[in-house]
Amino acid sequence: MAVVVPCLNEAAAVGKVVDDLRRALPGADVVVYDNGSTDGTAEVAARHGAQVRHEERPGKGTVVRRAFADLEADVYVLIDGDDTYDASVAGDLVRVLLTGGYDHVVGVRQAGTATAYRPGHATGNRALNEVVSRVFGTPVADMLSGYRVVSRRFAKSFPAISRGFEIETELTVHAVSLRVPQREVPVGFRDRAEGSESKLRTYRDGWRILRLILRLARYRRPMAVHCLLGGLIGAVSLVLGIPLVVEFAETGLVPRFPTAILASGLAMIAALVVAVGIVLDAVHRAADETMRLTYLRHPAPPRPPSVVPAPAAPQGRFRG
């Protein structure tokens, strides 16, 4: 097991996180990725027994991308270094993944105090969860959770395009698109440690996440997106063109040539948009097949001996 702890200026909290993780997962490698801290985060993590690696390029997504590429493990645990998640239950999340044969387990945050979420974050999280659930057709309870356990085949098939806090959205959409077995488990969520500061910027990062959702929708569901867009353009074309057709049928004249040209142009654009959607859908299916084959090249998560079924008793008698 490899535990990945992305950190940026978390000296006030990372020591406790590492201690809790080492108690919960005594056989795991706890790897703290220092993402350019200036407060001694790396030194504190090392004193508490974590392996420390450095990623100079900024962004949580960059750290996750680097960790999945560099670390070799059967199971990866992702958790923030700010001590807002209950690190002591990491073993329970790993057990759920292994015993259930899952590839992706998400820790759904359950706030222990009224101030655990910053103002507006809980509402924004619910709204984004609803958008993703409707766009991708799978219910999502906490898309932005940074507490996850994933299998090797999930990690090694994950492209990790995002650079910042959008990485959680990309992880969720990857799991939904690949249709991997996954489960959501409630976990405790509390206020940040005194002296630490959130790196999440509500409006800037919220806009980035929403923009990523729209981009992923265009990539992952091109047919639906282009049919919707083509349908809207086609509807405008009909609204403009039907009165002209009716008037032409009654009088044999087309009095508004500019409108007729516009309606015809919009109809052709609508048809072209739908045609592009059909082509992109074929490309997307090919990419999905490649991603699925990459996923299948890696072994399934190892199941603990306690859940391996016992061999069946022999039926009847056998003679030598």
| pLDDT attached to residue 177 | 86
| pLDDT attached to residue 210 | 79
| pLDDT attached to residue 201 | 62
Which pLDDT band, with edges at 50, 70 and 90, does 119 fall under?
low
| pLDDT attached to residue 318 | 36
Distance set, CA 222 to CA 161, 209, 277, 289, 290 (Å): 18, 19, 5, 16, 17
Q: Give the chain's radius of gyration (CA, Å).
A: 26
Is the model's pLDDT at 20 over the cut of 60? yes
Q: Which residue has the higher pLDDT, 309 or 134?
A: 134
Distance set, CA 62 to CA 41, 59, 90, 154 (Å): 18, 5, 23, 17
Give the range among 87-91, 191-195, 218-222 with minimum mean pLDDT.
191-195
Domain ranges of the chain: 2-216, 222-296
DSSP summary character for residue 85: B
Q: What percent of the chain has pLDDT over 90?
A: 45
Tokens coding 209: 């996440």
Q: What is the pLDDT of residues 211-245, one digit of tens each?
A: 878 877 887 788 888 999 999 999 999 999 888 88
Q: What's the whole-number mean pLDDT along residues 185-196? A: 79
Do 71 and 31 contact (CB within 8 A), yes or no? Answer: yes
Distance set, CA 7 to CA 33, 136, 172, 200, 270 (Å): 6, 31, 21, 13, 47
Among the ranges 96-105, 125-134, 239-248, which has the highest mean pLDDT value? 96-105
Which pLDDT band, with edges at 50, 70 and 90, does 31 fall under?
very high
Do 158 and 180 contact (CB within 8 A), yes or no? Answer: no
Do 210 and 128 contact (CB within 8 A), yes or no? Answer: yes
Q: First vs last Cα of the chain: how many Å apart?
A: 46
Ramachandran class of 25: left when φ > 0, alpha when ψ lies in -120 to 50, beta otherwise: beta
Give the range among 22-36, 49-63, 203-217 with minimum mean pLDDT.
203-217
Q: Is 176 helix (H, G, I), strand (E, B) or coil?
A: helix
What whole-number distance in Å separates Cα of residue 162 and Cα of residue 27?
30
Do 67 and 37 contact (CB within 8 A), yes or no? Answer: no
Q: What is the pTM of this model?
A: 0.78
| pLDDT attached to residue 162 | 82
| pLDDT attached to residue 137 | 81
Q: Which residue has the higher pLDDT, 196 or 287?
A: 287
Q: What is the pLDDT of residues 246-284, one digit of tens each?
A: 887 888 777 788 888 999 999 999 999 999 999 988 888
Q: What percent of the chain has pLDDT over 70?
A: 87
CATH of 2-216, one of 2.60.40.10, 3.40.50.1220, 3.90.550.10, 3.40.50.620: 3.90.550.10
Beta bridge partners of 85: 189
Which pLDDT band, with edges at 50, 70 and 90, does 194 fall under?
low
| pLDDT attached to residue 200 | 64
Residue 36 burial (10 A CB sphere; 0-12, 13-18, 19+): middle
